[in-house]
């Protein structure tokens, strides 16, 4: 009888440990992300039919937008912190791809945490880990924007870091991506200080050209010979830094900044773009939607009473307890957005703590049954004295 009961205790312990691990590291992502769905745009912001007469949902682009993954580097990243956070992001991303099947995925900068100072060897290791975590099929396009942690703040960035980033992702940091008649404008917001630095001048020159090309396409003007032709629709603008706002005081929701931080004033050119740079972008492109990152918290802002901006929270547990991403259904004339929350880190910790508590109770019950309460307590007292 004692041998039989001991075997059952060992079996129950194994089931408890394996079950908790499998649930927290694999299964928890499925019921959480299954709650998310692509928003319908048939009655949103214009509604109606697409340009070819089909319902808007049949012609829309399914875009998944996330931000601030901050893959830890060799200098400041502890190995367990790397393992924990990167596993969380990998499982969340791969589960979302499998369940939601987006056509295009945008990551709004700060892909890496130490790109601004990493050596070539450490950079290559970070890139290898990123490609493993965010692997995807040929049916999904992955578009990555540059952030201050990827190439440094304005005073740290240089051509080497910028070109290293662009070479890895095989694209310019400032460009237009067109899909199903929708223009997605990608902006290198780190280079918008307006102080005449060489990279700033290059980026602003490219933005002016893109603005001219887009405006010519919208106006269908015959005086725009030699310009690049784009679908005649205002762009969705994506960048790392938010446009200028005083603070997050007006931001609400479960993913907004903590109440004690919402009234902290933002610093121009550090927390947000300057007023001047923000106004130039709005005047040049008149975007129908702006998507940004950097603050690690969610926020919705309306600029000049007509340009909506959504700040996308961080995708990593390292930056917030409740990461999330955006699901966007976008057609040439309309769009709809919804937010998809990932499992909270506190929930996973709570499950592990509950499993540990159950394990202790199970072992104590076994000890009481086999040896009696007094003997178990005496064994516990001897263990404490040691």
Strand order, beta sheet including 141-144: 141-144, 104-107, 61-66, 324-331, 334-341
Distance from C-alpha of 230 to C-alpha of 232, rounded to nearest angstrom: 6
pLDDT at 382: 56
pLDDT at 309: 97
Does the pLDDT value for residue 276 go beyond 70?
Answer: yes
Tens of pLDDT along 72-83?
988 877 778 888
pLDDT band at 374; cut points 50, 70, 90: low
Task: State both tokens at 108.
Answer: 């709004």
Does the pLDDT value for residue 372 go beyond 70?
Answer: no
pLDDT at 380: 56
Distance from C-alpha of 359 to C-alpha of 374, rounded to nearest angstrom: 20
Total residues belonging to the chain: 386
Strand order, beta sheet including 182-187: 175-179, 182-187, 236-239, 289-292, 307-311, 299-303
pLDDT at 54: 47
Is the Cβ–Cβ distance between 151 and 190 less than 8 Å? yes
In the chain, the percentage of residues whose pLDDT exceeds 70 is 88
373-385 and 345-371 helices, crossing angle to 10° = 120
Does the pLDDT value for residue 4 go beyond 80?
Answer: no
Mean pLDDT of 346-359: 89
Mean pLDDT of 264-292: 96
**Model pTM?**
0.89
Task: State both tokens at 227.
Answer: 């310009």
Mean pLDDT of 254-267: 94
Tens of pLDDT along 110-169?
999 998 888 999 999 999 999 999 999 999 999 999 999 999 998 889 999 999 999 999
Alpha-helical (H) ranges within 223-298 are 275-285
Distance from C-alpha of 339 to C-alpha of 255, rounded to nearest angstrom: 10
Weakest mean pLDDT among 57-66, 123-132, 173-182, 260-269:
57-66
Arithmetic mean of pLDDT over the chain = 88
Choose among 330, 269, 258, 246: nearest CA to 298.
258
Tens of pLDDT along 30-47?
999 999 999 998 654 544
Which long-range contacts link 6-14 to residues 24+ away (Cβ below 8 Å)?
A: 6/366, 9/362, 9/363, 9/366, 12/362, 13/359, 13/362, 13/363
pLDDT at 77: 74
């Amino acid at each position: 009888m004692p041998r039989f009961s001991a075997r059952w205790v060992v079996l129950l312990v194994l089931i408890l440990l394996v079950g908790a691990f499998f649930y927290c590291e694999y299964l928890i992502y499925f019921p959480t992300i299954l709650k998310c769905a692509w928003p319908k745009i048939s009655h949103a912001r214009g509604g109606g039919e697409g340009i070819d007469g089909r319902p808007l949902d049949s012609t829309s682009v399914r875009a998944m937008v996330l931000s601030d993954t901050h893959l830890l580097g060799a200098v400041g990243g502890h190995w367990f912190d790397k393992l924990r956070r990167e596993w969380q992001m990998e499982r969340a991303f791969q589960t979302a791809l499998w369940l939601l099947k987006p056509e295009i995925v945008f990551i709004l900068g700060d892909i890496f945490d130490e790109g601004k100072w990493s050596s070539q060897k450490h950079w290559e290791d970070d890139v290898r880990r990123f490609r493993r975590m965010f692997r995807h099929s040929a049916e999904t396009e992955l578009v990555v924007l540059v952030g201050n942690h990827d190439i440094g703040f304005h005073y740290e960035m240089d051509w080497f870091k910028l070109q290293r980033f662009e070479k890895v992702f095989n694209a310019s940091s400032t460009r237009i991506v067109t899909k199903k008649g929708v223009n997605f404008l990608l902006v290198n917001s780190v280079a918008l200080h307006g102080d005449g630095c060489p990279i700033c001048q290059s980026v602003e020159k490219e933005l002016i050209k893109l603005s001219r090309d887009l405006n010519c396409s919208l106006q269908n003007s015959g005086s725009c010979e030699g310009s690049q032709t784009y679908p005649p629709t205002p762009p969705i603008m994506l960048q790392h830094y938010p446009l200028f706002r005083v603070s997050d005081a007006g931001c609400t929701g479960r993913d907004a900044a903590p109440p004690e931080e919402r009234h902290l004033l933002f610093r121009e050119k550090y927390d947000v773009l300057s007023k001047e740079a923000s106004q130039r972008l709005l005047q040049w492109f008149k975007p129908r939607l702006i998507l940004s990152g950097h603050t690690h918290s969610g926020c919705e802002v309306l600029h000049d009473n007509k340009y909506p901006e959504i700040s996308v929270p961080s995708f990593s547990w390292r930056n917030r307890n409740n990461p999330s991403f955006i699901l966007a259904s976008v057609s040439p004339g309309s769009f709809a957005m919804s937010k998809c929350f990932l499992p909270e880190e506190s929930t996973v910790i709570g499950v592990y703590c509950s499993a540990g508590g159950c394990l202790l109770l199970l072992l104590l019950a076994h000890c009481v049954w086999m040896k009696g309460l007094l003997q178990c307590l005496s064994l516990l007292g001897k263990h404490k004295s040691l």
